[in-house]
């Protein structure tokens, strides 16, 4: 079964790798030019024997061949690099939009119902059988470039998803089981006696884990918290 979202992510990853390869080749072309220039400067003030001269020639030839192959490769992938990096190019925007649409389509797969066109097979039987078909188990796929980005993304995604799987071979993070967002409720005018700060927001929370998640995601706004565990509320605010 072809998964449109995964295919697009794979294509996007390959295009990004090609763009990175083009930039790496440019750096190596400059490097080989420097190596060749260093040898030419060395030749100017040095007398070589026949065997030494031949070794210098072989080194120059090897550098020239490497440089030529890098140039050939860049000539081939240059159109892709320009399309991916040009300020007015809309390829990245187009791919992002397509990935978002496929992601939405995947999330709606479980809601699909089949209406039989005859009475030979019952609707419930058909829909029960369709559940056996292979469907994507993830809700979101995110690509990362390096370990530093992977660690940062994983830390942030854990606040929204219960299951996080890192596919290091393909440099992507698979997310599933979206957490329910804390429900914001109106600020009560009568607060618990333990609160001695100015309350700005009140959230409903079902357990200690969710209360910690609320604190971690709002600590850049508030300095004071009170967890009213019996009533499943957490009060957020600032000092008076």
The length of the chain is 240
How far apart CA 225 and CA 36 sit, in angstroms, is: 66
Indicate the domain borders of the chain: 1-134, 137-179, 184-238
pLDDT tens-digit map of 142-174: 788 788 888 888 888 887 788 888 888 778 888
Compute CA distances 23 → 32, 35, 37, 43, 119, whole Å: 14, 19, 22, 31, 63
| Count of other CB atoms within 10 angstroms of residue 216 | 10
- In sequence order, which residues have a C-beta less than 8 Å from that of residue 32 and are 6 or more positions away? 63, 66, 67, 70
Least confident range of 105-109, 110-114, 183-187, 205-209: 183-187
Alpha helices (H) along the chain: 4-44, 50-85, 91-107, 123-130, 147-157, 208-218
Q: What are phi and psi of 57, to 5 degrees?
A: -60, -45
Percent of the chain exceeding pLDDT 90 equals: 16
CA distance 200 to 197: 9
Q: What pLDDT score does 100 carry?
A: 73
- 96-138 residue pLDDT tens: 777 677 767 766 665 655 555 555 544 555 455 545 444 445 5
> Does residue 219 contact residue 200 with C-beta atoms inside 8 Å?
no
The rounded distance, in Å, linking the Cα atoms of 174 and 166 is 6
Per-residue pLDDT band for 58 (boundaries 50, 70, 90) equals very high
For the entire predicted model, the pTM comes to 0.44
Which region among 11-20, 25-34, 73-82, 110-119 has the lowest average model confidence (pLDDT)? 110-119
């Amino acid at each position: 079964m072809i998964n449109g979202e995964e295919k697009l992510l794979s294509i996007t990853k390959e295009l990004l790798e090609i763009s990175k390869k083009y930039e790496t080749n440019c750096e190596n072309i400059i490097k080989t030019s420097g190596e060749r220039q260093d040898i030419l400067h060395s030749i100017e003030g040095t007398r070589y024997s026949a065997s030494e001269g031949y070794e210098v020639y072989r080194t120059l030839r090897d550098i020239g061949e490497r440089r030529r192959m890098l140039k050939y490769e860049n000539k081939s992938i240059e159109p892709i690099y320009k399309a991916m990096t040009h300020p007015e190019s809309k390829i990245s925007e187009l791919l992002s939009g397509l990935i978002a649409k496929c992601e939405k389509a995947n999330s709606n797969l479980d809601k699909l119902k089949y209406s039989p066109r005859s009475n030979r097979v019952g609707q419930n039987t058909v829909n029960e059988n369709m559940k056996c078909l292979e469907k994507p188990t993830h809700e979101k796929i995110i690509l990362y470039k390096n370990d530093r980005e992977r660690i940062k993304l994983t830390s942030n995604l854990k606040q929204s998803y219960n299951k996080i799987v890192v596919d290091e071979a393909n440099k992507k993070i698979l997310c599933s089981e979206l957490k329910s967002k804390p429900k914001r409720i109106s600020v009560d005018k009568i607060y618990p006696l333990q609160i001695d700060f100015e309350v700005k927001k009140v959230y409903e929370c079902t357990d200690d884990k969710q209360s910690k998640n609320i604190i971690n995601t709002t600590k850049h706004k508030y300095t004071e918290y009170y967890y009213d565990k019996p009533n499943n509320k957490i009060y957020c605010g600032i000092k008076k």
